[in-house]
């Protein structure tokens, strides 16, 4: 069996991370932390100051279900302070082992078709009931039984069993690339949920294992209070409030005035707009990983059903300008023709494409089009059917970095003679009717990170995620389909050796470069803003111990490390 973290090594890792450290054998349960002790050995008292978290997603949906897609509690992020994951995954350093949390260990067999989970002892739900292996088994089983809840392993769960001490999860295919997804699954209490429909249950009471409990909810503001019976280090943050902002500009204003102290939003010219307002306390941090932003192209409709036009557009997109102008240098430029962010992806670039970089080549792009039968009517590009080439670039209103990037992409298209327009739409419409249903020409969207490039390519190209237009897609929004690519992605996922996986990846990269199913625009490191006026201990460039954003399972870890500034 392969262990992502053994019980002994895991506890040591937790102590080293200072999420809970004491002189006891089990540092998880005494409620103190090395991060919360001053040099004299005194433990600081909890502050009465409320930490305000902001997100630019509009009002929260009245749904506290932490595992239902579209839940207000996960969109705002407060679910992650109440419910916890099996392990802690540092998405900033995706190849590092996970740190035990609700589970002491997760052991995988050699082909990653079976995982054995050992829960941590001594944990209680916030209503006082013991946390057990049955809670883990139940939380995974309801995902298997309800397709709407199973976004991480659709159609891939086998038998899920528990002997009371451990949980054994079988999979129908190898999960080497998805091991971290199992680590990050939020666990819910069986004794509360088993009498409910887990898909429609709104979980208004929010009984979790985490460091905070729900105090009050409105669509505009959600308040949490410390869980004094928390099994881990007792939180020193006196309270949490999650405020709703309708767009990037609203949250940026709140962060720059100090009305919000933690969030993540794209801030143009962040050095002057944000940090300069209080250089001592205001911080922005960004981490690495494999996440990217992709211009998804509708491979089924003109003009993007023609690989020649997709290639030509790829050759005129000025990614350096997009990174500098639309991204203000926050989102690093993608240079490799494979679309992989660097340096995270350096070891995964196949030999065929090592050293090959993207560049702007308008003349070369026009030659590609000419060879494919395109002509020009004056300055207007005409396709082989005699139609003038036009398309629409669509993203939500207020997403300034995306919309500015689309404007630069449209300029590149204009250099070819194509008529490209930018359309800013209502966010809910984009999420629920445009991007997932395939009702677009081209649109920017992010990809998952993960510990390998598999997620990046699978999210763009995987036939296993293909659904017909009009049906909601989880990924492969551009409806690209290539059986060889689908097989290669499956082979990478189930491979048992690095050589097997790299051989499969070479096939995927070759088609990515030659077919251009979508355009990777820039890398998407995890970015967050925070103020240390009231609390310190957030992830930083010097100590990147976690994804710094409040909207993920890492929130429980970060909250365990925050210390009142005046202590």
Q: Please provide the CATH number assigned to the domain covering 84-192.
A: 3.90.76.10
Quick one: pLDDT at residue 151?
87
Q: How many CA atoms lie within 13 A of 165 on its CB side?
A: 0
Global pTM reads 0.76
| pLDDT tens column, 193-219 | 999 999 999 999 999 999 999 999 999
Report the chain's mean pLDDT, rounded to a whole number: 90
| pLDDT tens column, 273-324 | 999 999 999 999 988 789 899 999 999 999 999 999 999 999 999 999 999 9
Beta strand 262-263 pairing with 50-55: parallel
| Residue 491: φ, ψ to 5° | -65, -40
| pLDDT tens column, 73-83 | 998 899 999 99
| pLDDT tens column, 2-51 | 333 333 333 333 333 332 322 233 334 333 333 333 434 567 899 999 99
DSSP string, 283-322: EEEE--SS-EEEEEE-TTSTTTTSHHHHHHHHHH--HHHI
Quick one: pLDDT at residue 42?
64
pLDDT grade for 428, boundaries at 50, 70 and 90: confident
Quick one: pLDDT at residue 287?
80
How far from the centroid of its chain's Cα atoms is residue 113's Cα? 24
pLDDT reading at 347 higher than 50: yes
CA angle 159, 163, 167 (to 5 degrees): 55
Query: CA 22 to CA 2: how far, in whole Å?
Result: 29
The ranges of the chain annotated as CATH 3.90.76.10 are 84-192
What average pLDDT does the segment 225-250 reach?
A: 94
Quick one: pLDDT at residue 33?
37
pLDDT grade for 329, boundaries at 50, 70 and 90: confident
- Measured in residues, the chain has a length of 567
CA angle 407, 412, 418 (to 5 degrees): 100
Quick one: pLDDT at residue 10?
36
pLDDT grade for 496, boundaries at 50, 70 and 90: confident
Quick one: pLDDT at residue 20?
30
pLDDT reading at 468 higher than 90: yes
CB atoms within 10 A of CB 352: 12
Beta strand 419-425 pairing with 390-396: parallel
Q: What's the CATH class of domain 292-523? A: alpha beta
Query: CA 266 to CA 98: how far, in whole Å?
Result: 28
pLDDT grade for 70, boundaries at 50, 70 and 90: confident
Question: pLDDT higher for 404 or 13?
Answer: 404
Quick one: pLDDT at residue 268?
83
Quick one: pLDDT at residue 521?
97
| Architecture of the structural domain at 47-83+210-288+527-566 | 3-Layer(aba) Sandwich (3.40)
pLDDT reading at 363 higher than 60: yes
The ranges of the chain annotated as CATH 3.40.190.10 are 47-83+210-288+527-566
| pLDDT tens column, 509-518 | 999 999 999 9
| Residue 520: φ, ψ to 5° | -70, 125
pLDDT reading at 337 higher than 50: yes
Quick one: pLDDT at residue 34?
34
Tell whether the torsion through CA atoms of 434, 437, 440 and 445 is positive or negative.
positive
């Amino acid at each position: 069996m392969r262990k992502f973290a053994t019980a002994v090594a895991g506890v040591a890792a937790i102590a080293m991370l200072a999420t809970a450290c004491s002189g006891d054998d089990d540092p998880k349960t005494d409620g103190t932390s090395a991060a919360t002790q001053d040099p004299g050995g005194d433990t600081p008292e909890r502050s009465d100051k409320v930490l305000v978290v902001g997100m630019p997603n509009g009002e929260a949906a009245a749904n506290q279900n932490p595992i239902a897609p579209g839940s207000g509690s996960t969109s705002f992020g407060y679910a992650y302070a109440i419910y916890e994951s099996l392990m802690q995954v540092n998405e900033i350093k995706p190849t590092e082992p996970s740190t035990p949390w609700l589970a002491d260990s997760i052991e995988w067999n050699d082909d990653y078709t079976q995982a054995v989970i050992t829960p941590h002892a001594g944990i209680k739900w916030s209503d006082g009931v013991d946390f057990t292996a049955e809670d883990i088994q139940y939380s995974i089983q309801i995902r298997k039984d309800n397709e709407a809840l199973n976004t991480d392993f659709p159609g891939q769960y086998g038998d899920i069993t528990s002997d009371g001490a451990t949980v054994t999860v079988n999979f129908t295919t190898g999960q080497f690339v998805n091991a971290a997804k199992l680590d990050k699954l939020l666990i819910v209490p069986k004794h509360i949920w088993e009498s409910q429909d887990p898909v429609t249950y709104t979980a208004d009471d929010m009984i979790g294992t985490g460091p905070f409990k729900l105090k009050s909810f409105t669509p505009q503001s959600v308040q949490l209070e410390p869980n004094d019976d928390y099994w881990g280090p007792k939180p020193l943050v006196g309270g949490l409030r999650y405020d709703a902002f309708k767009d990037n500009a609203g949250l940026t204003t709140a962060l720059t005035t100090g009305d919000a102290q933690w969030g993540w939003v794209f801030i143009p010219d962040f050095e002057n707009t944000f940090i300069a307002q209080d250089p001592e306390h205001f911080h922005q941090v960004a981490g690495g990983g494999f996440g990217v932003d992709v211009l998804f192209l509708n491979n089924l409709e003109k003009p993007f059903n023609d690989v020649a036009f997709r290639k030509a557009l790829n050759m005129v997109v000025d990614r350096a300008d997009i990174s500098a102008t639309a991204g203000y240098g926050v989102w690093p430029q993608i240079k490799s023709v494979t679309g992989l962010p660097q340096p995270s992806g350096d070891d995964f670039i196949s030999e065929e494409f090592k050293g090959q970089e993207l560049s702007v080549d308008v003349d070369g792009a026009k030659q590609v089009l000419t060879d494919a039968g395109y002509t020009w009517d004056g300055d207007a590009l005409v396709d082989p059917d005699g139609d003038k080439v036009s398309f629409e670039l669509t993203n939500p209103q207020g997403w300034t970095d995306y919309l500015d990037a689309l404007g630069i992409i449209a300029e590149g298209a204009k250099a070819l003679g194509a008529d490209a327009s930018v359309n800013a739409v209502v966010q809910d419409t984009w999420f629920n009717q445009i991007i997932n249903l395939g009702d677009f020409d081209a649109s920017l969207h992010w990809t998952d990170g993960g510990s390998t490039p598999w997620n990046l390519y699978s999210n763009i190209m995987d036939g296993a995620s293909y659904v017909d237009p009009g049906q909601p897609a989880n990924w492969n929004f551009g409806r690209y389909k290539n059986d060889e690519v689908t097989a290669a992605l499956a082979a990478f996922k189930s491979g048992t050796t690095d050589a097997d996986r790299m051989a499969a990846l070479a096939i995927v990269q070759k088609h990515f470069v030659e077919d251009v199913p979508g355009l990777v625009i820039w890398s998407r490191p995890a970015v967050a803003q925070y103020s240390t006026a009231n609390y310190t201990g957030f992830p930083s460039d010097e100590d990147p111990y976690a994804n710094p954003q409040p909207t993920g399972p890492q929130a429980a870890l970060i909250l365990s490390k925050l210390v009142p500034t005046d202590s």
